[in-house]
Amino acid sequence: MNHPISLAVIGGTGVYKLAQLDDVQTHEVPTRFGSPSGPVRVGTLLGQRVAFLARHGEGHSLPPHKVNYRANLAALQQIGAQRVLALNTVGGITDAYGPRVLACPDQLIDYTWGRISTICEEEGSEVVHVDFGHPYSPLFRSKVLAAARVTGVKLVDGGCYGATQGPRLETIAEIARMRRDGCDLVGMTGMPEAGLARELGLDYACLAIVANWAAGCGDAGEITLAEVLANVEAASTGLPELVGELARG
């Protein structure tokens, strides 16, 4: 790399490239955990070098439980990124998290199962026990909030992200349980990504893009892909400016 990478962004459903990323170079990055979801695109955004990786693949070919989260994070680390902003398309549960809201959660509950959730999986690996009380890096998260203020992007500060297995959406009863548990948002990719980032020593924060009300919440009817993608596009209009400002910080 000619210049250090200031920031890496992982795109979720509906975000398969980073708008306004110029002078893009494509990197195929093999890792000790296998291949990531696709190529890492590195370019310039508002004068800063930024890396982008589509979590589900650029053609959305990978369901949440099949994403190689370890390889994705390792690939970003190998090209020099130390800060990772995760874009997660989610459903809203509580009143402040309706469709087209952007949120920066500060807590997390993991309901997933059967996913490789640690870098300590292989025989002979060093066993690490990382502190995960605050699942998102507090200092980096504060910089995300500061970047939103500077750029005028409306962002809800805080909230609990509940990570479910997918790829199916949740039942009304499951969402009611999550509400009782304290979840404000529901998505399928928040874990093991956040935990792996901590094990790898990466600064990591989530920017949750609310695409729809979760089952039984708000005015939720049948959730359609067209609705989800339209809401993601509308909520994402300020993302390039926010990401560019964050990359400068």
Which residues are annotated binding-site positions for phosphate? 13, 55-56, 189
Binding residues, by number, are: 13, 55-56, 188-189, 212-214
Cis peptide before 167 (omega within 30 of 0): yes
Binding residues for substrate, by number, are: 188, 212-214
Q: Are 208 and 187 in contact (CB under 8 A)?
A: yes
- For the range 72-76, what are the long-range contacts, defined as Cβ-Cβ under 8 Å and sequence gap of 24 or more? 72/10, 72/36, 72/37, 72/193, 73/193, 73/196, 73/197, 73/200, 73/202, 74/31, 74/32, 74/33, 74/36, 74/200, 75/29, 75/31, 75/36, 75/40, 76/8, 76/10, 76/40, 76/51, 76/202
